[in-house]
Structure 1
Amino acid sequence: MLLYISECNGRFILSAFPLCQLTEEDLIQNPLFCRLLATLSQHVDRTGLTLPLKKELEKAEKELRSQKLAWLRLESLHRILQEMVQEHRFSQHHTAAAPAEDTFYVTLERCLLIARCVRHLDPSSTVGQDQPLILGLSAEKVLNQLPPQQEVWRMKQRLPIELQKHLKKKLFTLLSYYQPDWENESEGLRCVKLSKLPELLESERSRAESLSEKNRENHTVLQHQTHSYLSELLECMQLLQTLVLDLRLKVQKELDRKKIEYFEAKCEIGIQKIRAEMFEVQLDSYTPDKIAAHQKITEKLTAQLKTCQVEKQSLESRLASFEIYGREFEILAQEYSRLRQEVATKSWALKEFTV
């Protein structure tokens, strides 16, 4: 029972501290450390932050998100206004605009430029106030270059209407890009469909994300299947190689025997062919009379060979009979041979002196 409780406590601690590289065995072997972690789990979260610090962090993140959202709104509005000015400049090259419209866009462009300069000249709270001025200019001097207040007031009065027209035009362009078939429909119908465009885009985004996730899963499954297929294929190849080697060893003897028979037959055919060539050469080289003479010579030589062999056999038998007398007879024969050689030498010398 105690072991079960300790295991449950260990699992709770591991779930409370997922970033720690610990196992249940480590906690069981170190009960004091396990108790310390259990106490800490009441004061910190899964990331290791204390509860007050986590609240402050969430508050700071929320404030940061709100500031980012405010900055994005201002930045988006600023870029849209710049885009309106650029489109007006581009349209001036094709068609002439009304003086009031030119005055509106000139005033808007000048206000945007001055606001941009003021933003660069006016230091923030994180920068020291004693920074040197750029070209000797200050924010107050730049603000003095604003258009007359009446023109600025007229521009501000007209700006929401022009901004609404520009945004509406961009939205219709986006709608036409999303569904080109809706371009020829009435403005009211397009406005209705435009109100549903965020939901459609969100559904498309969700579907794209689901397809992407499914694609990743399919890719993972495909990799796993490919690995399994290659493993199975390798095993099959090894099994096939084993079967081939075993079968080859079994039939190797039969193959070798057949090869030997084949080579023997081939050699025999070669020998017969050589003999036939020799006979053909002999027939081409010798006449029948020469062949008969050669046959007679061969018969005579064969007869002489047989006579010599018979004489050799008789001499060998006589020599064998002398060998019966042993070593003494061999010494006596050598002495006899020496004496005969001396007699022959002295006879030759006597003959020479007599002459």
Structure 2
Amino acid sequence: AMSCSESTNIKSFAEGDILHPQVLALFPLCDLTEEDLSQNPQFCKLLVTLTKHVDSTGLTLSLKTELEKADQKLQSQRRNWLRSQGLFQTLKEMIQEHCVRRHYSTVPPDQNVVHTFYETMEKCLLVAQCVRMLDPSNSTQKEQPNILGLEPQQILQLMPLEKVRQKMKQSLPHELEKHLKNKCLSLLCYYHPEWENKSENLKCTKLSYLAKQVDKDKKNAESLKESCRENKILLQRQSQLYLSELIKCIKLLQTLILDHRLKIQTELDKKKLDYFEGKCELVLQKIKTEMVDIQLDTYTPDTISAHRKIREKLDSELKCCQEEKQGAEVKLASFEILGKEFQALAEEYGRLRQEIEMKNWALKEFTQYSNK
């Protein structure tokens, strides 16, 4: 059970929005926001309680202690391996540099001792490598078959003479120190190019501070990595907040579109209708203008005067015809008053007129033929 003081501390620690960033800093790997903590205060208290039992990576304290011990042991073994591996690589570099110098320059007679030294060291390294390859691994229960049927003792017989080996071992520390010193001076010149032309004593003096400078640069690099990691976490959180706000804006925009689409469409249709009405009115006015232009081009002053005279003549003829029509209508009315007897007389009169016209025509024709 949790004590009263611990509960009070957790409550005071988890209360208020200003403390939420501290809770988030204790769990940088969790995908949480301040809004999540403010909406779930009990969960925030749980996270604060977990900080007493786990670290920022989520490991328990006991497991973290075991992990630190295993890491220390691993680092110790790693340092031992790196020490032997570094020494081996340095010896190979010395042999390679000697081969290069010997290839590009003529070795004076007094350098035969140096050549013997490097040759002996190379043979010893090769024999040691072969023996190690022939030696079965300690991690396997079954013995591995030897390469080409060779035994380590057969390879050890290829070692140089004991006297030559002892002489090489006596000279090895000095040569190794000389080689490492040259490498350190080269590293110093890389860090400080202005020291390249200085004396060797000054370089050696400056070399004593090189380790501190390298360590300082390493710490700066680690600090920059940590800063980059924090900035990355901050960027992820800001990106999440940005995306959440963007989603809210998109939803709000969708709501505005759905709610006001018909209203906007109606206003747009009204404006389009007004536009088309105005355009139609403009087209009608243009048509009227074109009609007036056609009339003006068709009816010139001379044409209008001629049409006026024609109209006057037609009006006079129409007036005469109307008068004749009225006279005929009066006569017809007077004839209709006399009745059916007058109609028989009129028909007889019409028949006699036709006979007279026929006889006149026949007489005329007869007269024409007689004269011929």
CA apart distance, 1:273: 1.8
Q: CA separation in 2, counterparts of 1:248 and 1:59?
A: 72
TM superposition shift of 1:192: 1.9
- Tell me the residue number matched to 1:312: none
With a CA cutoff of 8 Å and minimum separation of 6, indicate the structure with the bigger relative contact order: 2
Moved more, 103-112 or 88-97: 88-97
* SS of residue matched to 1:184: coil
How many angstroms does 1:214 deviate by?
2.6
Residues 1:121 and 2:131 aligned together: no
Using the TM superposition, give the Cα deviation of residue 87 of structure 1 relative to its aligned residue in structure 2, in angstroms.
Answer: 0.9
| Equivalent residue, structure 1, for 2:224 | 211
Q: Is the 8 A contact 1:7 1:24 kept in 2?
A: no
1:196 to 209, 212, 227: 209
Counterpart pick for 1:95 among 79, 87, 105? 105
Give me the whole-angstrom Cα distance separating, in 2, the residues matched to 1:259 and 1:271: 18
1:255 is displaced (CA, Å) by: 5.3
> Equivalent pairs: percent with the same residue?
35
Q: Does 1:276 align with 2:292?
A: yes
Aligned residues: 266
Unpaired runs of 5+ residues, structure 2, are: 11-26, 28-39, 44-58, 320-372
Residue in 2 aligned with 1:133?
146
The alignment's C-alpha RMSD in Å is 4.8
Q: Give the CA deviation at 1:123.
A: 1.8
Measure, in 1, the Cα distance between the counterparts of 2:313 and 2:248.
Answer: 77
CA distance in structure 2 between the aligned counterparts of 1:297 and 1:248, rounded to whole angstroms = 67
Q: Which residue of 2 aligns with 1:184?
A: 197
- Would the aligned equivalents of 2:127 and 2:159 in 1 still touch at CA under 8 Å? yes
Distance in 2 between the 1:184 and 1:230 partners?
A: 58
Distance 1:78 1:96 in 2: 27
- For residue 197 of structure 1, what is the amino acid of its counterpart? L
- In the superposition, relative to structure 1, how do residues 220 and 72 fare at CA in structure 2: closer, same or farther (>3 Å)? closer
- 2:83 aligns with 73
Name the residue aligned to 1:109. Answer: 122
Quote the residue 2:279 is aligned against: 263
The separation in 1 between residues aligned to 2:229 and 2:237, in whole angstroms, is 12
Q: Alpha-carbon deviation of 1:136?
A: 2.3
| Counterpart selection for 2:166 from 153, 178, 186 | 153
Distance 1:250 1:92 in 2: 95
Q: Quote the offset at 1:47 in angstroms.
A: 6.2
The 1:60/1:271 distance shift into structure 2, 3 A limit, reads closer
Cα deviation for residue 107 of structure 1 reads: 0.4
Task: Pick closer, same or farther for the CA change 1:5–1:253 going to 2, 3 Å.
Answer: same
Letter in 2 for 1:156: K
Gap change, CA 1:248 and 1:205, over 3 Å in 2: same
Query: Which whole-Å CA distance do the structure 1 matches of 2:308 and 2:240 have between them?
Result: 86
Give 1:171 shift.
0.7
- 1:174 and 1:134 map into 2 onto residues whose CA distance is 41
In 1, distance between residues paired with 2:142 and 2:280?
A: 112
Q: Is the 8 A contact 2:136 2:143 kept in 1?
A: no
Does the 8 Å contact 2:134/2:146 carry over to 1? yes
1:320 equivalent in structure 2: none
1:91, distance to aligned residue in structure 2 (A): 1.1
5+ residue gaps, structure 1, are: 12-17, 27-44, 304-355
* Residue in structure 1 matched with residue 361 of structure 2 by the alignment: none
The amino acid that maps onto 1:83 is E
Greater gyration radius? 2
Separation in 1 of the partners of 2:41 and 2:244? 35
Q: Distance in 1 between matches of 2:83 and 2:158?
A: 26
Q: CA deviation at 1:122?
A: 1.8
Would the alpha carbon gap of residues 85 and 224 (structure 1) be closer, same or farther in structure 2, given more than 3 Å must change? same
Which residue of the partner structure matches residue 46 of structure 1?
60
1:167 aligns to what SS in structure 2? helix
Write the letter of the residue equivalent to 1:140: Q
The structure-2 alpha-carbon separation of the partners of 1:131 and 1:259, relative to structure 1 and needing over 3 Å to count, comes to closer
SS at match of 1:120: helix
